[in-house]
């Protein structure tokens, strides 16, 4: 990964932050993207203090013009784009389908699904100029199964898997690989709003007996992005402590 350039959305915290730190440690130029400017700049500062290379670009991933601007910034700053990790997402409104608000539905689809289309649209255009590239989209275990109360999130994450597979078919011949990762419940800020009892219930859903760590998800993202996964495209990799095996 030395001297390759990677965009990571939602990189100010959680899985995105751990992924940014890992890529930087392995020598990549990292573009840290997030809507949270203060935390995003802090991630960049920490990377640079450890000898890595990084730059921050504030992005609202739900807006196509901002996703295009992110790619343009990356090309202007580092000259090319080799890897993109489309990680930004929100948990969104929790309600049964019949009670879910239209606004809640539209918000989560915009951030968790539309943003990946916007991102890939412009990322692929940049990678085609290189003659190669790797995209890793962050789905979820809920990209494979349902979860009561999370209609918008589940629909979006299923959509991420389908979008990933389709792009992989379309661009494999041009040496652009596209894969998806499906984390189980991970100890990230997305779970901060849950009380201790709810977290205990979530732990019980994972046969391994605990929630995951963002660093564990970062490792498979890094592998998929690297040349070690050169024959892997169109795949969906759960990182879920056995959740989907139940």
Contact 36, 210 (CB under 8 A): no
What pLDDT is stored for residue 193 in this prediction? 72
- What is this structure's pTM? 0.95
Instruction: Specify whether 236 is catalytic.
Output: no
pLDDT along the chain (246 residues), means of 10: 96 97 98 98 98 98 98 98 97 95 97 98 97 98 95 98 98 98 88 81 93 96 97 98 94
The residue with tokens 């901060």 is 192
What pLDDT is stored for residue 191 in this prediction? 77
What pLDDT is stored for residue 198 in this prediction? 85
Tokens of 158: 């299923």
Q: What are phi and psi of 60, to 5 degrees?
A: -95, 105
What 3-state class would DSSP assign to 203? helix
Helix (H) or strand (E) holding 21: helix 14-25
CATH number for the domain whose boundaries are 5-245:
3.40.50.720
Helix (H) or strand (E) holding 35: none
Domain range annotation of the chain:
5-245
What pLDDT is stored for residue 246 in this prediction? 87
Which position among 153, 171, 237, 243 bears the catalytic label? 153
Helix axes 14-25, 37-49, angle to 10 degrees: 30
């Amino acid at each position: 990964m030395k001297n390759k350039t990677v965009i990571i959305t939602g990189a100010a915290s959680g899985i995105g932050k751990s992924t940014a730190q890992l890529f930087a440690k392995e020598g990549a130029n990292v573009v840290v993207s997030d809507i949270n400017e203060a935390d995003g700049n802090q991630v960049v500062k920490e990377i640079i203090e450890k000898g890595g290379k990084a730059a921050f670009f504030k992005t609202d991933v739900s807006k196509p013009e901002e996703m295009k601007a992110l790619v343009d910034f990356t090309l202007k700053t580092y000259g090319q784009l080799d890897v993109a990790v489309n990680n930004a997402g929100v948990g969104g409104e929790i309600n049964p389908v019949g009670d879910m608000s239209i606004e809640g539905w539209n918000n989560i689809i915009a951030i968790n699904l539309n943003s990946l289309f916007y991102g890939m649209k412009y990322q692929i255009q940049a990678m085609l100029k290189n003659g190669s590239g790797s995209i890793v989209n962050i789905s979820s275990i809920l990209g494979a199964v349902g979860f009561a109360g999370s209609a918008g999130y589940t629909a979006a994450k299923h959509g991420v898997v389908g979008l990933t597979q389709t792009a992989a078919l379309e661009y494999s011949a041009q040496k652009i690989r596209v894969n998806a990762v499906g984390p189980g419940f991970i100890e990230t800020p997305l779970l901060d709003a849950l009380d201790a009892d709810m977290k205990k219930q979530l732990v019980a859903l994972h046969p391994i007996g605990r929630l995951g760590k963002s660093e564990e998800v970062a490792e498979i993202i890094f592998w998929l992005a690297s040349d070690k996964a050169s024959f892997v495209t169109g795949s969906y990799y759960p990182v879920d402590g056995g959740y989907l095996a139940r």
